[in-house]
Chain A
Amino acid sequence: MSAEHWLFFFFAGVAVLGALNLILQRHPIHSALSLILVMASLAVLYLLLGAEFIAAIQIIVYAGAIMVLFVFVIMVLNAGEEERTSLSRVAKFVGLPLAAVFLVEVCYVLYRAWPSEQMVVPERFLGRTEAIGKALYGEFLLPFELTAILILIALVGAVVLAQKEP
């Protein structure tokens, strides 16, 4: 186990615990703060893979911009503690066991596939800034442009659904 492995397991654990805390907290501000923790530890995981651009974007866009928006919305709406709703019977007796089965299944499959030559290794990983730029404006130009339409849809949609009554 190299230092890299230790770092990975530490921050992966922090990410999972942060995500759990996010859904278990009752106050929206506490949930928002745990989300920052998740985002930040994910950024470290990206860095470990050699994807410094994605790591930086993760911090700037998610932990920075989107989280600030979240917190503002929570403050403006003055959201207090949420009421606990109990799980429905279907969720309790079918949903949770199925979720557990799914988790075990994913873990098993990943464990089986783990010691493989084809897994992503940092040296071969094309997540560096230059590679991303070239892919985005070269090979993947069309999806990039489609994203522009997607954002326009979101804008138009937000205006339609949130505008004042005429």
Chain B
Amino acid sequence: MSVPVTDLLRILPELVLAVFGTLIVLVEPFLRRTQKSLTGYIALIGALLALLSTLAPAMYPGPAFNGLVLVDGFSIFFHFLLLMITTLTIVASFRYLEREGLPQGEFYALLLFATIGMGLMASGNELVLVFLGLETVSIATYVLVGFRRTEVRSNEAAMKYFLLGSFATAFMLYGIALLFGATGTTFLPDIARQLAEGGGMRTLALMGMGLLFVGLGFKLALVPFQAWVPDVYEGAPTPVTAFLSAGPKAAVLAAFLRIFFTALEPLSGSWVWVIWATAILTMCIGNLGALMQDNIKRMLAYSSIAHAGYILIAFAAHSELGIAAVLFYLVAYALMKLGAFSIVSHVSAGEAHQSIDDYAGLHARHPLLAACLTVFLLSLIGIPLTGGFFGKLYIFTAGIDANLMGLVIVGVVNSALSAAYYLRVVKVMYMSEPQGNLAVVPVPASLVFVLTLTVLGTIGLGVFPSPILQFAQQSVLPLP
């Protein structure tokens, strides 16, 4: 069987990533120890070329590979977002890997391979492909989390993530099997058609939907499936934590939205209230957990749980406005989380200094770093003139538009509550005397690059949100 050229064009970013990932694995053994950082540049070129080649599917939208892949505005938007996250993660890892003496080639190769999985999750229109995409991301990230092999915390994180993640995978697979049993197909539009026509076995489909929700909810770190997040985020190498909190989360959300808003749309009466309840639990538990943390990585981990809760408000709104709000929020969220974690990875030098107290007097040591971190933290709260503000504004607007007043009120209260722990870091940075003798390490050029882009992006989204918002509005999934 021959594959039409248009099919290949529609997955061109994935093909580019596969070529460059394999290239890194092939080239790495022939490099001398001092030259290993070359693999980072190969990965960077690969990610940038993939970003550029996203224009190909953007020009030729439509289904590919017998409908397994659907290239539409939604998948294009996510491809741009995911490839941006991967590019920034690669640059943010340059200095970190050298400093920690970690194997570089494998790191970048796994990162690129994980991005293939994320891309196919965003454009997958069939459950088997989405599942394999999710597994590609998961297995690559299990390894990345445990990359600091000599570090007990990293081992613990990888082990917990792997065991719990496999368990969640089993749930998801069981859900897919039951949905297939109920409707006789794994293609999302066909499932929707079967369910809408009243065909298929409805109770069985509901059961499958529930299991699918558990599997995806675990990967998204929704309460009550969030227990793994603080330990994994704390133990993982910080650039990997940054990647985990932005990339896989966005990709899983893409699959989540596509599955629930196309295939399971006829059952929406049964899942909207589940999302509603999960949103409240996730916001409250995430924020309460963050309040109690003294470790900055754990604090940011709980904060990312809370942010998944805000996103669910727009999900529960069940409207095109809601989807656009989710897309916009994901861009703003990825920028601030990537930026904040890259500063953490620089300041915590060798993962030794992760306590919030280590940020005491950061203002005196690194005035610019302190200023950048302040921007990201303000954006995480949702202060005006930052991307986080418009992100939350659009989410709450979507919620109000869908008459979810209770949910929006809980969201606003939680945002106010979250200011307490974000501002605590700001206060420590500016008001406290530096303690101990943390050396002033000069900021490497790669970090300057990442921070420039993320700070400009965060403030840019807060001042001129309309271009990205319009892009998001054009990229929503069509709802019936």
Contact = CB atoms under 8 A, between A and B. Distances in A.
Interface of A: 105-106, 109-110, 112-113, 116, 118-120, 137-143, 146-147, 149-150, 152-154, 156-157, 159-161, 163, 165-166
Nearest to B106: A160
A138 B133 CA distance: 19
A139 B66 contact: yes
Given A153-B110, A161-B146, A143 B136 contact: no
Interface in B68-95: 68-69
26 contacts: A109-B203, A109-B207, A113-B201, A118-B182, A118-B201, A138-B1, A138-B66, A140-B68, A141-B65, A142-B68, A143-B128, A143-B129, A147-B132, A149-B116, A149-B136, A152-B25, A152-B113, A156-B25, A156-B110, A156-B143, A159-B106, A160-B103, A160-B143, A163-B103, A165-B150, A166-B33
Q: Which of A113, A137, A138, A142 has the most CB of B within 10 A?
A: A142
B181 A120 contact: yes
Contacts of A119: 181
A156 to B, nearest CB: 5
A147 B66 CA distance: 18
A152 to B, nearest CB: 7
A146 B18 CA distance: 10
Contacts of A153: 110, 113-114, 136, 139-140, 143
A157 B140 contact: yes
A28 to B, nearest CB: 17
A110 B65 contact: no
Contacts, number: 95
Contacts of A140: 68, 128
Interface residues of B, dominant DSSP: helix
A102 B199 CA distance: 25
Contacts of B129: 142-143, 146
Nearest to A141: B65
Interface string B1-12: 101000000010
Contacts of B103: 160, 163
A118 B200 contact: yes
Interface in B145-180: 146-147, 149-150, 158
B270 interface: no
Interface in B104-147: 106, 109-110, 113-114, 116-117, 120, 128-129, 132-133, 135-136, 139-140, 142-143, 146-147
A162 to B, nearest CB: 9
A161 B139 CA distance: 13
B139 A150 contact: yes
Given A140-B128, A147-B132, A152-B113, A113 B143 contact: no
Contacts of A147: 132
Given A143-B129, A156-B25, 15 more contacts: A109-B203, A110-B204, A119-B181, A139-B68, A146-B117, A146-B120, A146-B132, A146-B136, A149-B116, A150-B136, A150-B139, A153-B139, A156-B109, A157-B143, A161-B158
Nearest to A111: B203
A116 B69 CA distance: 31
Contacts of B207: 105-106, 109
Contacts of B200: 118
Contact of B132 (A106, A109, A143): A143
